[in-house]
Amino acid sequence: MKGLQQTTTDPSSAACARASAGYTRTRHVTVAALVTALLGASAWISIPIGAVPVTLQVFVVLLAVLLLRPATAGASVGVYLLLGAIGVPVFSGGLGGPGVIAGPTGGYLLGFLCAAVAGSALRAALERRVPRNLAELPAVALGILVIYLLGWSWLRIATGMDAGAAFASGVAPFLVADAVKAVVALGIARAVRRAGVV
């Protein structure tokens, strides 16, 4: 029939596309599993300085923000929290169980989950409008802000501290260290992407 064109799809091209998509998913799942493992391992590197210990977990959460899609980032942190909730000793100081989540530092743990999802979602949204490097900094800043906000709020409720005391104990001591962690996470994430891992 005049004007009717028949289109065909190259089977080899379709197969390559499916293989590439599967490979990408596999890499993201691998990175997500690594984030879960690193969250547990970094909790063992703990320096008690008051109500809230210093760990490398914020650094790992920021890597999730920078490297994973929102759902995958949330899943990686969610699995970590689930393991801790059922008693696996993956929380700070080698602790586990629901009592840790209900305790004074529980807000930071839940903050990790919310920060991973919110930060990753913001990065993904901004990357559609601006270069990736410009999207990363607001995403990291949002992630840290979410952790602080939930951690500070929960600490106030769990301990009965006033707002100023909770800030002095649960936020102020970490500002400089977390800024350094953010810079390092940005550098590592960019190196990982240049290497084609994600």
Predicted confidence band of residue 4 (pLDDT cuts 50, 70, 90):
very low
Mean pLDDT, rounded, for 116-120: 98
Identify the three-state secondary structure at position 2: coil
Domain boundaries, the chain: 12-194
Residue 192 has pLDDT above 70, yes or no: yes
Output the DSSP codes for 136-190: HHHHHHHHHHHHHHHHHHHHHHHH---HHHHHHHHTGGGHHHHHHHHHHHHHHHH
For the domain covering 12-194, report its CATH number: 1.10.1760.20
Dihedral over Cα of 33, 63, 89, 152: its sign:
negative
Mean pLDDT, rounded, for 35-58: 88
Q: What pLDDT is attached to residue 19? A: 44
Q: Is the pTM of this model over 0.75?
A: yes
